[in-house]
A and B are shown apart, each in its own frame.
Chain A
Amino acid sequence: MDLTLLMYLIPSLIMFGCGVYGFLTRKNMIAIMISLELMLNSIDINFVVFNRFLFPDQYEGMFFTLFAIAIAAAETAVALAIIINVFRAVKNVDINEITKLKF
């Protein structure tokens, strides 16, 4: 069976959708972070697949993916550090606990 472009793209978009859903509904900050990682990873898949199937004679998409992975790692590091800070302040990682600033 031949693998086509869509067979990669559709799972990747489903992954992105799951990430958005998780970001909007989860209450635990670590779970939100995982959802964000899902979104970023699905974008990496997008780039690689487009490069491999549509433009196989160049590597721009592959390079973009490498950089995107590095950026995602940096983002996770910063976000986790901030989550630890919040945990120290309120002894919890539930986003319902950090609602002091509003309106």
Chain B
Amino acid sequence: MDYSQFLLMPQEVGLLLVFLLVFIYDTFMPQRSQRALPVFTTVLFAIYTAICFVPCEVGSAFAGMIETNQATWAMKNILNVGMLIVLMQAAKWTNEEFMRVRRGEFYELLLLTLFGMFLMISARHFLLFVIGLETASLPIACLAAFEKKRYESHEAAAKYVFTAIFSSAIFLLGISFVYGIAGTLYYNDIATMIIGQKSTLLVVALAFVIAGVGFKLSLVPFHQWTADVYQGAPTAVTAYLSVISKGAAAFSFLVIMAQVFGAAYSTAWEWMLYAVIILTITIGNLFAMRQHNLKRFLAFSSISQAGYIMLGVIAANTLGMASMMYYVLVYVFSNLAAFGVIAAIERQTGKTTTDDYNGLFKTNPWLSFTMMLAMFSLGGIPPFAGFFSKFFIFVGACKTGSVAVYVLVLIALVNTIISLYYYLLVVKAMFIRQDDCAIPTLKSSCGERAAMIVCALGIILIGLASCIYTSLTEYTAAIANIFSQI
């Protein structure tokens, strides 16, 4: 076997090294130094993230099962940055007493799910994709059940694990039909085998594949688990689930749709996605309005954001792919800022409803300022990054030039305005409404503070630093061939 192939997947190998070091630290270090494990992991991961920004070699390894190119490299770096912020936010929470024996497991499972997501992004063979999908989703079920003393945590985990297995069964059925028709599981070979065929079975298989990945992305009508799991799981896990896992699933979804089904079935999946996107954005928005629990509210907001991310898939061109990656990058910062504030407040007071946030500005000006930035960015108010990401994703979709997509973008635009209503409700509660028994002045930990500063800087600067979007378009232009057949 040619071991030099591993050089083509430096990010995966590096992540495994980080995992092994954390595992060795957790197993062999004496009890008194265990409290340093969160700091150890975060610093190690920060070094790893920095090293990963070195451009890597491009090519495919293991008989074409794995492919590394500029786009996958950039996407993995975006996920790394998000993971780093999650680690910084979680450091204080994992140091609490009830986490004492399970601290190491938390970090090991978290790193392994990220490894699964990297496999999903790089996979060019369905076997590897399925393994990545399961590696990414099974540990999250364990992580959701992490707070053993809290009943909601168990309920969330049960709901997540059943829907995850059900969705992967549906997905696997779709793949088995694809295999029956094409006789191979390589993305490229399937595309060449099914070109020119018009079989109904393939459309059914396509619908199953969309349903299976749609569960992971929590697209309507496969979204029912989202709100319950987001509310019940520990906030660090919810933040991870809403951002990192969604970004990885969206990217690999686009690759599958373009590379496997693009040649013969682009009209079929475009119409399926068309309906799904309209439903996702609208229903996510309508349900978000009536939520009082902030974690549930962010769950529905993230459902509607997933609809916007899907606009990049329906565009199915290099610009759409770049916009989607940019959207995920901005979404990482804005959503993690919101979850950072919620986690900091929940950890110290246990309060998570909108009414609890009344008069927060008087007592905690910096927390409310960060939350305001996050809400403005999620809603898409101009100087912040959220505006630019929405703008680019609309431009990418309009590039297809079809009237149907213009109508879709119009519906998405109307929904953006609707979404402003509920995002601003939170801002109103913090800044305008008064409350005599507002949350007292809190002291955040160093990690939480650093994460919030990084997120706030990201929200303000990423929209203004146009070089990021330009380089993303260059990366995706390098792999324009996967869209050539659409």
Contact = CB atoms under 8 A, between A and B. Distances in A.
A85 B157 contact: yes
Interface string B352-373: 0000000000000000000000
The 10 closest A-B pairs by CB, nearest first: A46-B176, A39-B169, A50-B180, A101-B228, A55-B183, A43-B172, A98-B155, A82-B157, A86-B154, A79-B161
B151 interface: yes
24 contacts: A29-B158, A32-B162, A36-B165, A42-B173, A43-B172, A51-B179, A54-B183, A55-B183, A60-B185, A64-B126, A67-B130, A68-B130, A68-B172, A71-B168, A74-B134, A75-B165, A78-B141, A79-B165, A85-B157, A86-B158, A90-B151, A100-B152, A101-B228, A101-B232
B205 to A, nearest CB: 11
B162 A36 contact: yes
Contact of B169 (A19, A58, A79): A19
B141 to A, nearest CB: 6
A74 to B, nearest CB: 6
Contact of B179 (A39, A64, A95): A64
Contacts of A86: 154-155, 158
Interface residues of A, number: 40
- Pick from B145, B158, B161, B169 the residue with the most CB of A within 10 Å: B169
Contacts of A58: 183
Interface of A: 16, 19, 23, 29, 32, 36, 39-40, 42-43, 46-47, 50-51, 54-55, 58, 60-61, 63-64, 67-68, 71, 74-75, 78-79, 81-83, 85-86, 89-90, 95, 98, 100-102
Contact of A82 (B158, B166, B228): B158
Given A40-B172, A86-B154, 14 more contacts: A36-B169, A43-B176, A60-B179, A63-B127, A64-B185, A71-B168, A75-B165, A78-B142, A79-B161, A79-B162, A95-B158, A101-B155, A101-B159, A101-B232
A36 B166 contact: yes
Given A60-B184, A79-B161, A82-B161, A47 B176 contact: yes
B231 interface: yes
B138 interface: yes
B179 A50 contact: yes
Given A64-B127, A64-B179, A43 B173 contact: yes
Contact of A101 (B161, B176, B231): B231
Contacts of A82: 141-142, 145, 154, 157-158, 161
B169 A101 contact: no
Interface in B136-163: 138, 141-142, 145, 148, 151-152, 154-159, 161-162
